[in-house]
């Protein structure tokens, strides 16, 4: 899959209908034409292992059902705490004493990741979407028993009978409370963690070898689950797999900047010298240079320049020396510009 140089906004039918949404207060899940199950991908993980929250939707009616599951924020709120509180998907991790574990601090909340799921379900059809909990909640947890509490989630939905004109449908957005799900975290075990990542990587490699060819600027629908799991993971065990995924030495960067902005943050935090050298090799490609007419290119992405400057400013003396020449060659970049979180050009609407 080759990186796309420009984002073109295609207003889909479902997203257009959002403007006609009505919103209710948080309630228990109760939609007469839809069954919803919320569960963890695993009830037992090794510390630092990626974990997903699975939303399974079953159409129990004789008509079609339209759905949108959101993880969106009030984009104009600049206070970080208020911004996070405005999120439509609220999830907490409680330890055995009922104390809430602090949320993972992300470098960026790209607008391209606001839409988790957008589908039409035929009668009796079941679809499961996987939300990466590790993107929101750190799985670098101490061994013990926890509960994942789905405080609320916003779901836009509509029933479409065969007699209704699809152009005259209005989605209703309800905010539901979800379950409290038990989770046991086992002590850190590098062997078990590497084995888990190897499984993810094998599945990710299959998707790379069999690209879909479609792209619409929504990271959840554009990027396969196995790839997302690795790209958005946290911790040092993820770094070598993330480096393998983001870049192809012959084709350049595989994903546009919003999809890998938090990947760069994890790489910068945890990469060891040998892994940093692999990143520097990307920057040494002859076509890796800042083109002021374009925000990113096939061989250049803002996160790369930012990573090099972070290492040059904060690394050991050895790392500072290794990155000196490239830091002088590439100007420092903001890996998460306002346009990325607002969904504006080149990361959204013109």
Q: Which domains does the chain have, with CATH numbers?
A: 13-186 (2.60.40), 190-342 (no CATH)
Q: Can you list the positions of beta strands (E) in 110-202?
A: 115-121, 126-132, 144-160, 172-176, 180-186
Given a contact cutoff of 8 angstroms between Cβ atoms, the answer to whether 344 and 258 are in contact is no
Q: Give the three-state DSSP class for 97.
A: coil
pLDDT at 189: 95
Q: How far apart are CA 297 and CA 329, in angstroms?
A: 16
| Cβ-defined contacts of 213-218 (< 8 Å, 24+) | 215/4, 216/10, 216/12, 217/7, 217/8, 217/9, 217/10, 217/112, 217/347, 217/348, 218/112, 218/115, 218/118
Q: Report CA Rg, the chain.
A: 21
Q: How far apart are CA 88 and CA 82, in angstroms?
A: 12
pLDDT at 167: 61
pLDDT at 278: 98
- End-to-end alpha carbon distance in the chain: 24
What 8-state DSSP symbol labels residue 228? H
pLDDT at 212: 77
Tell me, yes or no, if the pTM score tops 0.85: yes
pLDDT at 166: 59
Q: Flag residues of the chain having pLDDT under 50.
A: 1-26
pLDDT at 56: 95
pLDDT tens digits along 102-159: 999 999 999 999 999 899 999 999 999 999 999 888 889 999 999 999 999 999 999 9
Q: How far apart are CA 187 and CA 267, in angstroms?
A: 23
Four-residue CA torsion sign, 23, 24, 27, 28 = negative
pLDDT exceeding 70 applies to what percent of the chain?
Answer: 89
pLDDT at 350: 53
């Amino acid at each position: 899959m080759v990186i796309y140089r420009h984002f073109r906004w295609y207003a889909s039918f479902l997203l257009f209908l959002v403007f006609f949404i009505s919103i209710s207060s948080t309630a228990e899940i109760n939609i007469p034409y839809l069954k919803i199950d919320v569960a963890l991908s695993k009830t037992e993980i090794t510390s630092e292992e990626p974990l997903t929250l699975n939303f399974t939707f079953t159409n129990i009616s004789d008509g079609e059902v339209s759905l949108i599951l959101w993880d969106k924020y009030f984009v104009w709120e600049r206070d970080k705490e208020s911004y996070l509180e405005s999120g439509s998907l609220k999830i907490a991790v409680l330890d055995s004493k009922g104390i809430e574990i602090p949320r993972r601090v992300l470098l960026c909340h790209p607008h391209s990741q606001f839409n988790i799921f957008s589908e039409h379900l035929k009668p009796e059809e079941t679809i499961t979407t996987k939300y990466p909990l590790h993107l929101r909640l750190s799985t670098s947890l101490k061994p013990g028993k926890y509960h994942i509490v789905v405080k609320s989630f916003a779901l836009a939905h509509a029933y479409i009978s065969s007699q209704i004109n699809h152009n005259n449908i209005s989605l209703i957005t309800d905010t539901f409370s979800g379950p409290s799900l038990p989770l046991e975290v086992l002590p850190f075990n590098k062997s078990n963690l590497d084995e888990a990542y190897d499984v993810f990587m094998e599945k990710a490699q299959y998707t790379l070898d069999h690209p879909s060819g479609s792209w619409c600027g929504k990271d959840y629908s554009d990027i396969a689950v196995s790839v997302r799991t690795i790209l958005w993971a946290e911790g040092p065990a993820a770094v070598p797999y993330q480096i393998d995924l983001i870049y192809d030495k012959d084709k350049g960067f595989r994903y546009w900047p919003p999809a890998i902005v938090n990947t760069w943050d994890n790489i910068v935090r945890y990469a060891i010298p040998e892994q940093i050298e692999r990143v520097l090799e990307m920057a040494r490609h002859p076509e890796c240079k800042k083109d002021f007419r374009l925000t990113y290119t096939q061989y250049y992405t803002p996160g790369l320049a930012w990573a090099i400057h972070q290492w040059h400013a904060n690394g050991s003396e050895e790392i500072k020396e290794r990155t000196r020449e490239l830091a002088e060659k590439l100007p420092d970049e903001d890996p998460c510009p306002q346009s990325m979180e607002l969904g504006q050009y080149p990361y959204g609407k013109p």
